[in-house]
């Protein structure tokens, strides 16, 4: 043993103190050798007094949406059904990888010239251009005039977060109005980015439709310049969207008050089956020449959930502004995750730039949307056949991935306990997780819940 270590082994110091001082000497260079065995053998608590430095930490609750999957995974029942997270399932209840995505991946694998170099901070240039075109339309004057900056981000969530951080740093109004209710992650994303979150009325639980009057009143009394989060289509969780005429009124009101639109487009193509129809709200706001932000996700419409592919576009009034905005977006992204992943964005770029691949995609997308729509009819018919009390027409009126059933927390808990059906406690069900085989099970469960649990 090194003499210094030996001398440290006085009878007054404990073995853990000795290990510690040996480590200090080693790290400061005063001891070239060290009894590494004694350090490695130190048990986690032996050298330090008291508990873990993290022992005060309280257990956080599971996420209200993703936590449903955690509970579902723990259930050993063979009939369990997960209608919590919005993830598309086939008629056989399996996750779906689109054929066109498999093809694109094969092309990527076969192309030996492809490398794994870092992408630029803003991501894959081709992907960004094509993404802007997809949401704003091929003929968009804003794109033609170079007034749009688009950066590749980590799916819809990452795009919202980057946009929010940018606004918190550079926009004069720090308040964002989000609909009530909205996707549960919205308030967290915006608050953590440094914005102050307020809500505007959106849903009327009595009509199970849009509270249009409330929406107009709340946006009408928002301070000038405030940011407003709008679901581009297929509002989550309500499945209720404004009509074209209502969008037009919202646009006029927002422009007259200089409210800044921040669109969340997580379901383009999923609401109606048409990519263009589902982008109408966004395009209406861009057509008037005004400014807005759009967060896009390819999780649902291309089934790229875990690849985390999305884009943030900021539409500006002038090209030089857009280019300065982009320079600042880079400063937001670089310290956050440096630059985005390459694989998913390459898949999207291959599909969007080739006419045949694109057409194939739209067919597969329409099939998914149509299957969801047919599940609405099936569930509605099944409840009617059972004479389930209540008006269930909202199931066929609502759009997109979810039905906001109106079932309360207790009824949801009952359905999970008695029927092994998993859904979020606000009564939202993912229609994309249903199949012909499971509709009767869900209808039985809803019937029992509304007749037995008040
Ligand atoms: N915006 C809205 C309105 C969403 O519903 C979701 C996903 C996202 C953004 C983010 O999606 P992404 O980051 O995966 O692109 N909402 C899901 C999943 C489908 C989730 O909660 O993360 C949901 O079940 O509500």
Higher pLDDT, 454 or 13: 454
Reported as a pLDDT band with limits 50, 70 and 90, residue 398 is very high
pLDDT value, residue 81: 95
pLDDT value, residue 427: 95
**382 is a domain residue:** yes
Reported as a pLDDT band with limits 50, 70 and 90, residue 391 is very high
* 198 assigned to active site: no
Tell whether 259 and 404 lie within a shared domain. Answer: no
3 state DSSP class of 133: helix
Residue ranges lining ligand 1, Cβ < 6 Å: 65, 85-86, 155-157, 183, 185, 231, 236, 264, 266, 297, 299, 310
Q: Hey, whose CA ends up nearest to atom 11 of ligand 1?
A: 156
Tell whether 167 and 279 lie within a shared domain. Answer: yes
Query: Average of pLDDT values for 37-46?
Result: 48
Q: How far apart are CA 447 and CA 384, in angstroms?
A: 10
Question: For the domain that residue 174 is a member of, what is the CATH number?
Answer: 3.40.640.10
Q: How far apart are CA 69 and CA 64, in angstroms?
A: 10
Tell whether 158 and 214 lie within a shared domain. Answer: yes
Higher pLDDT, 32 or 438: 438
Q: Is the dihedral of CA 232, 238, 244, 247 positive or negative?
A: negative
The pick from 82, 156, 427 for probing ligand 1's pocket by mutation, whose C-beta has the most ligand atoms within 8 angstroms, reads: 156
Express each pLDDT in 147-200 by its tens digit.
999 999 999 999 999 999 999 999 999 999 999 999 999 999 999 999 999 999
The answer for residues whose C-beta is within 8 angstroms of residue 40's C-beta and 6 or more apart is none
- What's this model's pTM, rounded to 2 decimal places? 0.89
Tell whether 280 and 388 lie within a shared domain. Answer: no
Distance 366 CA to ligand 1 centre (A): 20
Range of the domain at 124: 118-353
* 426 assigned to active site: no
CA 12 to chain centroid: 58
Distance 91 CA to ligand 1 centre (A): 22
Q: Hey, whose CA ends up nearest to atom 12 of ligand 1?
A: 156
The pick from 157, 229, 240 for probing ligand 1's pocket by mutation, whose C-beta has the most ligand atoms within 8 angstroms, reads: 157
pLDDT value, residue 17: 52
Distance 185 CA to ligand 1 centre (A): 8
Express each pLDDT in 124-152 by its tens digit.
999 999 999 999 999 999 999 999 999 99
Tell whether 375 and 446 lie within a shared domain. Answer: yes
* Vertex 291: Cα angle to 210 and 324 (nearest 5): 145
Tell whether 340 and 256 lie within a shared domain. Answer: yes
Q: How far apart are CA 361 and CA 381, in angstroms?
A: 31
The tokens 């968009």 sit on which residue?
A: 140
**Is the pLDDT score of 233 beyond 90?**
yes
pLDDT value, residue 23: 46
**247 is a domain residue:** yes
Question: For the domain that residue 390 is a member of, what is the CATH number?
Answer: 3.90.1150.10
**Is the pLDDT score of 315 beyond 60?**
yes
> Among the options 183, 218, 278, 426, which is catalytic?
183
**48 is a domain residue:** no
Tokens coding 137: 């339309």
Tell whether 300 and 424 lie within a shared domain. Answer: no
Q: Would you give the DSSP letter of residue 432?
A: G
Q: Hey, whose CA ends up nearest to atom 21 of ligand 1?
A: 65
**Is the pLDDT score of 309 beyond 70?**
yes
- Answer yes or no: are the C-beta atoms of 313 and 136 closer than 8 Å: yes
* Vertex 278: Cα angle to 288 and 133 (nearest 5): 65
Query: Average of pLDDT values for 40-65?
Result: 76
The pick from 162, 163, 271, 297 for probing ligand 1's pocket by mutation, whose C-beta has the most ligand atoms within 8 angstroms, reads: 297
pLDDT value, residue 193: 98
The pick from 299, 303, 399, 422 for probing ligand 1's pocket by mutation, whose C-beta has the most ligand atoms within 8 angstroms, reads: 299
Which of 353, 388, 405 is the last residue in one of the domains? Answer: 353
Tell whether 84 and 199 lie within a shared domain. Answer: no
**423 is a domain residue:** yes
Distance 305 CA to ligand 1 centre (A): 9
pLDDT value, residue 454: 81
**Is the pLDDT score of 15 beyond 90?**
no
Express each pLDDT in 330-381 by its tens digit.
999 999 999 999 999 999 999 999 999 999 999 999 999 999 999 999 999 9
**283 is a domain residue:** yes
**Is the pLDDT score of 46 beyond 80?**
no
Distance 183 CA to ligand 1 centre (A): 7
Query: Average of pLDDT values for 433-441?
Result: 95
Query: Average of pLDDT values for 218-229?
Result: 98
**136 is a domain residue:** yes
Least confident of 31-45, 46-60, 231-245: 31-45
Tell whether 252 and 400 lie within a shared domain. Answer: no
> Among the options 218, 241, 264, 278, which is catalytic?
264
pLDDT value, residue 50: 76
Query: Average of pLDDT values for 63-90?
Result: 93
Which of 353, 382, 407 is the last residue in one of the domains? Answer: 353
* 264 assigned to active site: yes
Distance 156 CA to ligand 1 centre (A): 7
Tell whether 261 and 408 lie within a shared domain. Answer: no
Q: Which atom of ligand 1 is nearest to the CA of 299?
A: 15
Distance 204 CA to ligand 1 centre (A): 22
**Is the pLDDT score of 36 beyond 50?**
no
Q: Give me the number of domains the chain comprises.
A: 2
Q: Nearest-CA neighbor of 47 among 18, 68, 73?
A: 18
Q: State the virtual CA torsion across 358, 155, 280, 366 in degrees, nearest 10.
A: 40
């Amino acid at each position: 043993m090194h003499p210094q270590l030996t001398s440290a082994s006085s009878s007054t110091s404990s073995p853990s103190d000795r290990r510690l001082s040996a480590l200090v000497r080693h790290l400061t260079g005063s001891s070239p050798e060290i009894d590494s065995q004694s350090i490695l053998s130190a048990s986690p608590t032996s050298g330090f007094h008291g508990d873990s430095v993290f022992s005060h930490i309280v257990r956080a609750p599971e996420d209200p949406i993703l936590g449903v999957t955690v509970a579902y995974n723990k259930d050993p029942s063979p009939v369990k059904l997960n209608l919590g997270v919005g993830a598309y399932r086939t008629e056989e209840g399996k996750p779906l990888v689109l054929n066109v995505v498999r093809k694109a991946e094969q092309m990527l694998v076969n192309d030996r010239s492809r490398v794994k170099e870092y992408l630029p901070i803003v991501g894959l240039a081709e992907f960004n251009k094509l993404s802007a075109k997809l949401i704003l339309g091929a003929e968009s004057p804003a794109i033609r005039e170079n007034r749009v900056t688009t950066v590749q981000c980590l799916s819809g969530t990452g795009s919202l977060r980057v946009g929010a951080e940018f606004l918190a740093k550079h926009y004069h109004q720090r308040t964002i109005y989000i609909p009530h209710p909205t996707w549960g992650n919205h308030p967290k994303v915006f608050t953590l980015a440094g914005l102050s979150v307020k809500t505007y009325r959106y849903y009327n639980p009595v009509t199970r439709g849009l509270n249009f009057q409330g929406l107009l009143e709340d946006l009408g009394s928002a301070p000038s310049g405030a940011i407003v989060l709008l679901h581009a289509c297929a509002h989550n969780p309500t499945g209720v969207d404004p009509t074209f005429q209502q969008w037009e009124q919202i646009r006029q009101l927002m422009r007259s008050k200089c409210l800044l639109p921040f669109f969340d487009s997580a379901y383009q193509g999923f609401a109606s089956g048409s990519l263009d129809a589902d982008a109408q709200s966004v395009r209406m706001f861009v057509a008037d020449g005004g400014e807005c932000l759009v967060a896009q996700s390819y999780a649902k419409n291309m089934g790229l959930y875990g690849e985390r592919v999305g884009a943030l576009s900021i539409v500006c009034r002038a090209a030089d502004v857009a280019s300065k905005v982009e320079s600042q977006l880079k400063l937001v992204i670089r310290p956050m995750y440096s630059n985005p992943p390459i694989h998913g964005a390459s898949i999207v770029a291959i599909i969007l730039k080739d006419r045949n691949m694109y057409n194939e995609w739209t067919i597969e997308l329409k099939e998914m949307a149509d299957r969801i729509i047919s599940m609405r009819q099936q569930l509605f018919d099944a409840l009617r056949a059972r004479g389930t009390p209540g008006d269930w027409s909202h199931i066929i009126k609502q759009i997109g991935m979810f039905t906001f059933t109106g079932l309360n927390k207790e009824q949801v808990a009952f359905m999970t306990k008695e029927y092994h059906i998993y859904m979020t406690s606000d009564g939202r069900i993912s229609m994309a997780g249903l199949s012909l085989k499971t509709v009767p099970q869900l209808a039985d469960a809803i019937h029992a819940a509304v007749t037995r649990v008040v």
